[in-house]
Chains A and B, each alone.
Chain A
Amino acid sequence: MMKKQLVIIGGGPAGLAAAVAAYDAGVRDMVVIEREERAGGILKQCIHNGFGLTRFHESMTGPEYAQRFLNEANARGIEIMTNTFVTDLTGDKKVTCMNERGVFTIEACAVILAMGCRERSKGALNIAGTRPAGLYSAGTAQKYVNIYGHLPGKRVVILGSGDIGLIMARRMTLEGAKVECVCEIMEHSSGLRRNIAQCLDDFGIPLYLEHTIVEIKGKERVESVVIAQVDKAKKPIAGTEREIACDTVLFSVGLIPENELTKRAGLSLDPRTKGCVVDGNRETDIQGIFACGNVLHVHDLVDFVSEEAEVAGRAAAEYLIRGEGERAYLPTVSGENVTYVLPQRAEQGKDVKLYFRVRSAFRGAMIRVETGSAVKTYRRIAVAPGEMENVTVKAADLANAHDIKISVVREA
């Protein structure tokens, strides 16, 4: 059985940044396991720009952003095992892999989970009608267009105004398709505000909020969809149905962290993030197993994925040097208008950067951080569920606290 100090599962932006950070913190005996032919993860097919604004103060395309980290990894001689799938992970860090050389197991001292996420499929939505050709998740359509150069269709309806749906609305239009509309079941889009402007408004593509697709029609290929308005309970309102002729439907209806291996290792998932529970170092309930990136919670900006991965990489390195230890934690709590806070627990005596998402969007917001009887507030011009927020809590503020509660309220 192969032995490695550190195994990183996933060679996307999270895995690569974690590897570089672990190396720079002293780890040498490591391997990054990547299932595709080339590392870079989903960024390989995200050829639009807007990546790296926060981190590099440049507007890069996905492949450019990934290449930065790949260059850093290659410069350090970090081993990246491509075309290799991880088929099993145990709680005692045995990583079973499969590639064209065979099935083998690596005994790791530390593991970083960086498997990213998958798209929620149309089948999970219970949409009535037939199942013809022409139905794609937005990411799959993106792969056909950007990697293989194939146009999935010419007349498109998109369900879901998350970033992938918005980006594909523009992408398909640029390649000559007609995007009839984007339907969004919520009262607001979950995508970045700049994407609404740059992908829909700039191209005259209508966005129908509080709408969904209730039926798909077509025998061999999609012929039309029936859309309808929904009520507050997200149920279609009778009489608002409208049929739209099209040959393609793209579904951008949510991302789900890819935690099959995580579950195999015996780790339980936080139902709010769909990823595992971690502390400020991104260490899970099993000491020596860390998680970062979209597998932990779905990010909007890859810049924060890299930052999070570096925390995990450094922490894994420290774990390998220091070994297991006892720590005192306080839980983080989601208060008013907050759907989740990550990490779910903070270490006593250490600063912690908390990431969170708000439940509803509004302008003029106050973020309240309560630690014991102390309250600190921070202003934000606007908050939205689709834009992850963060605040840093100092160690000193934790001294007399039992937990850290984050709420977001309207400015008085």
Chain B
Amino acid sequence: MRARYDVAVIGGGVIGALAARELRKYELSAVVLEAADDVAAGASKANSGIVHAGFDALPGTLKAKYNVLGNAMMETVCRELGVTFRRNGSLVVAHGAEEEAQLQTLLARGRENGVNGPEILTREQVLEKEPHAADGVTAALYAPTGGIVCPYGLTIAAMGNAMDNGAQLLCGFEVCGAQKEEAGWMLFSSDGRQVTARVVVNCAGAGAEYVADLLGGASFRIGLRRGEYMLLDKTAGRHVSHTVFTVPTKAGKGVLVTPTADGNLLVGPTSVEDEVYSTAVRRPAYDEIGEKALSMVADIPLGQVITSFAGERAYSDRHDFVLEWGAEGVYHAAGIESPGLTSSPAIAAKIAKEVSDALGARKNEKFNPVRRSAHWFRELPPEEKNAVIARDPAYGKIVCRCEEVTLGEILEAMRSNPPARTLDGVKLRTRAGMGRCQSGFCQPSVFNELMKEFGMKAEEVTKNGGKSYLIMGGEL
């Protein structure tokens, strides 16, 4: 299959998805090439989900600039896309004089970066905001503009809206070769497909250096830093109400304790340098996370853990974002580590501006920025739910009992942009399987719906694409 596009975006993470959406605000044909079998397959589904206030990034860096811009845009973008965003505020806690001095540094940095409102709190003031603050906490930096968002929810919604507005998504398209053409690039997938585009945007995350080398050479190197997390039951979701950080070190922002946009409690991440890409959780991670977290927040009910996971963060050797043109017709958006999620709306806008200027594209007057929330049904009052159920009884059938996800929502997930074709795809879009029983109850039902919807045999249904088959041996 060979098709021509104005723009090919390599990478279907939060950057690629938002970029595709921004690009469609211009009269540019766009395709997103994603190596995995679904969007948000890499760091975009395995990060802290924090919208940083912006006091952490070094002034003058791209991180600082795009953090502040992105933070300001997040509320509107989330409202348009029907994604939950909560500005719950950040607290960076200090233990003693040395760390308190570092808070002052962050405060000054924040001011220089143009962040509104951060202030230093005494221990008493911290306890008013967070009664569970640990005994050793002596002060904290409070930043009211910090927030939380569901990172894979944002990615899926942005991609869906981009596709609703005419962008294409090709999954399982692993770029393994590229050829410079007269007016652009031809991109080859390892499964034989080809795509041609006038401009290529490289937001390939952990693969950005590899992709850059294919596209005329990389002026940066990508390193990998793994972050491991523990996710606690919603019953622990109110243990803290702000996002609580420790004072940052060279290895990163460190372990944090935060509510998630969906009401769980998230603890982590660690920071592990990797030579080889890995999403395994190391054996010592649990104690490391627990120890660090308990030094910030007391009595965390770690026994209510429902799952743990890890993600690889791609960072550039510049220790800043790479946002620049490379070879002719290639734009790089690489090394988007923290505050990458926060910066994503602003980075996406920057990419679209650069590319549309380069191609002299006009605005797309038909662009519709609005997408209905994936969780629209569960937010309805009973009378309105009944009206929906009367029209479509599938919304009256609960499939995932822990998260109360109905069959109607699961069918929607398989039928709306970008369509879910795997167990995890349904999970990320609907939350079916994310509850305390971790799909023990609903998995066979979701499995059956996937089989039915896509006419798959039992041995063809996967957990998350590729060879992640769930059943070995069909009919008994």
Contacts and interface: CB of A to CB of B under 8 A. Distances in A.
B307 interface: yes
A128 B438 contact: no
A43 to B, nearest CB: 16
B113 to A, nearest CB: 37
A139 interface: yes
The interface centre, meaning the residue of B309, B404, B463 with most chain A CB atoms within 10 A of its CB, is B463
Contacts of A98: 385, 396, 398
Closest 3 CB pairs of A and B: A123-B307, A151-B473, A100-B393
Interface string B312-324: 0000000000000
A98 B436 CA distance: 21
A349 interface: no
A145 B447 CA distance: 13
Contacts of B281: 128-130
Nearest to A115: B401
A173 B281 CA distance: 31
Contact of A152 (B390, B393, B462, B472): B472
Contacts of A217: 280
Interface in B421-458: 436-441, 443-444, 447-448, 458
Contacts, number: 131
Interface stretch (B50-58, B252-260, B282-290): B282-290
B389 A100 contact: yes
Given A123-B438, A153-B472, 4 more contacts: A118-B441, A119-B440, A137-B440, A151-B471
B470 interface: yes
A140 interface: yes
A130 B288 CA distance: 18
Interface residues of B, number: 51
A124 B443 contact: no
B279 A103 contact: no
A123 B389 contact: no
B280 A130 contact: yes
15 contacts: A85-B404, A99-B396, A118-B436, A121-B437, A122-B438, A129-B281, A131-B279, A134-B470, A140-B441, A147-B444, A150-B474, A151-B473, A154-B473, A175-B476, A221-B469
B305 interface: yes
A129 B281 CA distance: 5
B283 A140 contact: no
Given A101-B389, A123-B306, A220 B448 contact: no
B275 to A, nearest CB: 17
A98 to B, nearest CB: 6
Interface of B: 230-231, 279-283, 285-286, 305-309, 382, 385-386, 389-390, 393-394, 396-398, 401, 404, 436-441, 443-444, 447-448, 458, 462-464, 466-476
A132 B280 contact: no
Contacts of A351: none
Contacts of A131: 279, 307, 309
A71 interface: no
A128 B285 contact: yes
A181 interface: no
A121 B443 CA distance: 13
Contacts of A130: 279-281
Given A121-B438, A132-B468, A150 B306 contact: no
B184 to A, nearest CB: 34
Nearest to A102: B386
- Most chain A beta-carbon neighbours within 10 Å: one of B394, B438, B447: B438
Given A103-B386, A132-B463, A139 B440 contact: yes
Contacts of B305: 123-124, 126
Contacts of A48: none
Interface string A60-98: 000000000000000000000001010100000000001
A143 B309 CA distance: 26
A124 to B, nearest CB: 6
Contact of B473 (A137, A140, A150): A150
A8 to B, nearest CB: 18
Interface string A99-128: 111110000000000000011011110101
A133 B463 contact: yes
Interface in A122-173: 122-124, 126, 128-134, 136-137, 139-140, 143-145, 147-154
Nearest to B309: A131
A118 to B, nearest CB: 5
B472 A154 contact: yes
A128 B404 contact: no
A149 B385 CA distance: 35
Nearest to A45: B444
A204 interface: no
A102 B390 contact: yes
